[in-house]
Amino acid sequence: MLVGHYLGDTIVSAEAVLDRQLDGALSRRLDLGVYPGSSGQHALFFNKWPSVKPRVAIVVSLGQVGELTSALREVRAGSAAISCLPVGTGADGMTVRDALEAILRGAIAANRRLVDTQMDEQVTIDKIEFIELYEHVAIAACEALQALLRDGQLASAVRASPS
C-alpha cells in the first residue's frame, strides 16, 4: 500500500487506517522524528503479521502542502504487487493524471533498477492496484489512466486490466 505524507502534517485519513493496520508503526516513527518529511523521502513498513494485508506499506513524502508537482517520479517497492491511492491529489496537490503518471513511472524505474542490480529474478513490480474512496475521483482516475496508456512510452511498458 502506498500513501503520501505532507511535511509537518499529522497522520490522518487513509494513512491513519494504514497506521492502525500496522499496529501504530507509522505513528511511532513520526513521534521519533524519523518519518518521511522532505520531498523525495520515503519509508517502508513491513507488517509483522504476514497473513494480514497490507504486507508492505510505503510512505512517500510530498514535501510542503502546495509545493507538490508531477516531479514525484521515483517510487520504489519491494513487493511484486502494490496497492496505492492517487497520492498527492488532495489539499490542492497535483492532478489525478499527474499522480498516476508519477506512480507508473516510478514503478517502471524501480523495475529497471531491479534489472540493473540483477534482482529482477527475485522480485519485480508486476501489478499496481489504484484505490480511491470517492467515486468522482475514481472515475477521474480511470479516465486519466486510459489517457496515459495512449502515451507511447507508458503504453509500451504498462498493460491495464480493469477490475
Domain assignment present for 24:
yes
Check residue 39 and give left, alpha or beta (phi > 0: left; psi -120 to 50: alpha).
Answer: beta
| pLDDT tens track for 130-141 | 888 788 888 888
Domain assignment present for 19:
yes
Contact (Cβ atoms closer than 8 angstroms) between residue 89 and residue 112: no
- Give 37: exposed, middle or buried? Use CB within 10 Å, 0-12, 13-18, 19+: middle
pLDDT-derived band at 96, boundaries 50, 70, 90: confident
Contact (Cβ atoms closer than 8 angstroms) between residue 160 and residue 135: no
Q: Of the segments 21-30, 34-43, 82-91, which one has the largest average pLDDT value?
A: 21-30
Q: What is the pTM of this model?
A: 0.53
Domain that holds residue 72: 2-157
Domain assignment present for 113:
yes
Domain assignment present for 31:
yes
Domain assignment present for 162:
no
Q: Which residues contact 41 (CB under 8 A, 6 or more apart)?
A: 60, 61
Nearest to 85, CA basis, from 137, 43, 126: 137
The whole-angstrom separation of Cα 98 and Cα 144 is 9
A 10 A CB-CB count for 85 gives 23
- Secondary structure element (H or E) that encloses residue 133, with its range: none
Can you tell me which residue has the cell 506512480? 103
Domain assignment present for 25:
yes
**Tell me, what's the pLDDT at 74?**
43
Domain assignment present for 163:
no
Q: What is the CATH number of the domain that holds 19?
A: 3.40.220
Count how many domains the chain has: 1
- Beta strands 42-46 and 56-63, pairing class: antiparallel
